[in-house]
């Protein structure tokens, strides 16, 4: 099996590595060529143009930052001509409408399209324990299941194209909202002189607890946001996508618009490329 992997950033790199570990031939492309060095050293074929990767493989996995990047890398004039007869598996976070539009473009070019966004970060990607959500026909899901299992043990068929993209956005909204809420409560008990260990002990025993709180606690207490698993700028992108889609669905997004202000503050404080636990510092900022 030959798989083209387009987009080898924070998540794409360990995901492509999992394919190599499974003995799958990988042809890798990234818009920043320097990021391809680890994969080349691990045995991947690297190319300088996306159409070269597409043209060399039957299945093409996309792990790109947004829909604009997908159009640039996959559906530019020269790349678009190489899509015919190939399967495009889109694994990044985009809106349902964007996913369906890209599907239509891929089908018009003679290819087939599957969406398979993932939940989890770099440790889960390295371990092959991501939660893989699939938007596709049953037959497509069955045919690509073995490939998708390299990323997570039990890929879930959510429904047609767009449904998995929607589920992924809903989950990422929780990342933003839960992290901001936890950072606010943690900051409040600190300001009030309440022992943080006691706060966490009671929280862990309650129905309010989410494991992400402990995963981010030490970073927040230390103010250490280096080596991010998920950078603040990506959380901002996903939050804005969710707000737009939710408004279109007639939902009240006032709470998330407040969260977006906190994320904006973190980015103004130069935490765009830092771990999103930097929201804690934005909560504690005067403006």
Q: Which residues are catalytic?
A: 168
Q: Which two tokens stand for residue 158?
A: 């959510």
The answer to whether 111 and 93 are in contact (CB under 8 A) is no
The answer to whether 86 and 54 are in contact (CB under 8 A) is yes
Among 225, 242, 227, 237, smallest CA distance to 279 is for 225
Instruction: Give the three-state DSSP class for 40.
Output: helix
Distances (CA, A) of 201 to 83, 100, 208, 216: 54, 45, 12, 15
The rounded distance, in Å, linking the Cα atoms of 225 and 125 is 20
Among 5, 10, 8, 6, smallest CA distance to 25 is for 5
């Amino acid at each position: 099996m030959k798989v083209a992997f387009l987009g080898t950033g924070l998540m794409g790199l360990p995901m492509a590595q999992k394919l190599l570990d499974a003995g799958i031939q990988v042809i890798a492309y990234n818009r920043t060529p320097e990021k391809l060095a680890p994969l080349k050293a691990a045995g991947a074929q690297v190319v300088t143009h996306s159409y070269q990767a597409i043209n060399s493989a039957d299945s093409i996995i996309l792990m790109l930052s947004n829909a604009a990047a997908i159009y640039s890398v996959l559906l530019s004039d020269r790349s678009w001509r190489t899509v015919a007869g190939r399967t495009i598996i889109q694994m990044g976070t985009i809106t349902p409408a964007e996913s369906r539009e890209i599907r239509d473009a891929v089908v018009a070019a003679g290819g087939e399209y599957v969406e398979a966004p993932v939940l989890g970060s770099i440790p889960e990607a390295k371990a092959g324990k991501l939660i893989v959500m699939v938007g596709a026909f049953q037959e497509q899901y069955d045919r690509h299941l073995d490939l998708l299992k390299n990323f997570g043990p039990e890929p879930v068929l959510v429904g047609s194209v767009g449904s998995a993209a929607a589920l992924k956005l809903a989950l990422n909204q929780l990342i933003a909202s839960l992290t901001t809420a936890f950072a606010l409560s943690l900051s409040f008990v600190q300001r009030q002189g309440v022992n943080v260990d006691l706060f966490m002990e009671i929280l862990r025993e309650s129905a309010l607890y989410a494991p992400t709180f402990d995963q981010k606690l030490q970073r927040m207490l230390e103010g250490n946001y280096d080596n991010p698993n998920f950078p603040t700028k990506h959380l901002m992108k996903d939050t804005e996508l969710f707000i737009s889609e939710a408004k279109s669905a007639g939902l009240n997004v006032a709470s998330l618009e407040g969260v977006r202000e906190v994320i904006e503050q973190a980015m103004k404080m130069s935490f765009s490329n830092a771990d999103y636990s930097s929201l804690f510092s934005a909560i504690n900022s005067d403006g």
